[in-house]
Amino acid sequence: RSSDLRESLKGLELPTAGHTAETFTRRYNYLNHFSKVQACKMESECDLKDLYQKEFKPKDYLQTYYSPDSEAYRNDLFLSFLLKQLHETFISGDVKGGTLIDIGCGPCIYQIMSACEAFKEIIATDLSDANRCEYEKWLRNEPGAFDWSSIGERVCELEGDRSKWPEKEKKIRLMVKQVLKCDRSEE
């Protein structure tokens, strides 16, 4: 239960090597969120979709895992692996077509950075209103939208020229034709 988790975390001291109070707080908040999800699963007393809609904070998620200032970003071999695999998948020419439908995109665009070279248009979908709003904010290049430059430059570096990110960024914004609500649990 979230109250048990909260109690067990109270006495923890911050690790000293590269961890900040902000990082610890974010991790605690995510642990707290996921403990609520587990409680819902075990007790079947609330709807997980509603919990996700209410509790998930896309800005916090993006700052925690995709911001160059975050510890998770600096130490994330998984993201590097994903970017490389996506690049290799789409650059091969084996996966290509007219329309790519990204189901469950969240507030993220990294997964379509390489795909934009293999498709003519992209449709992004997600369950969360907040995720779609954050995604659309980036598409419209609004102030306060998440800055994907550091990840975009990494993808462009895989493609041979890190400095091409501004061109790719424009291309992606033109290629994403729609951002739609999609609930995979419904027929």
> Model confidence over 118-155: pLDDT tens digits?
999 999 999 999 999 999 999 999 999 999 999 999 99
- Amino acid identity at 120: K
The pTM score is: 0.72
Distances from the Cα of 64 to the Cαs of 13, 37, 67, 71, 134, in angstroms? Answer: 20, 19, 7, 8, 15
Q: Where residue 35 falls among pLDDT bands split at 50, 70, 90? A: low
Is 58's pLDDT higher than 90? yes
Is 74's pLDDT higher than 90? no
Give 125's strand partners.
Answer: 103, 180
Q: Where residue 160 falls among pLDDT bands split at 50, 70, 90? A: very high
The reported pLDDT for the residue numbered 41 is 52
Q: Where residue 36 falls among pLDDT bands split at 50, 70, 90? A: low
The reported pLDDT for the residue numbered 50 is 82
- Check if the beta carbon of residue 129 is closer than 8 Å to that of residue 91: no
Higher pLDDT among residues 74 and 120, named by residue = 120
The reported pLDDT for the residue numbered 39 is 53
Q: Where residue 4 falls among pLDDT bands split at 50, 70, 90? A: very low
Parallel, antiparallel or unpaired: strands 176-181 and 97-103: unpaired
pLDDT digits (tens, 9 = 90+) for 90-104: 988 899 999 999 999
Higher pLDDT among residues 38 and 172, named by residue = 172
- Amino acid identity at 136: E
CA trace torsion 9, 12, 17, 20 (10° rounding): 60
Q: Say how far residue 137 (Cα) sits from the centre of its chain.
A: 14
Q: In whole numbers, what is the pLDDT of the chain averaged over residues?
A: 80
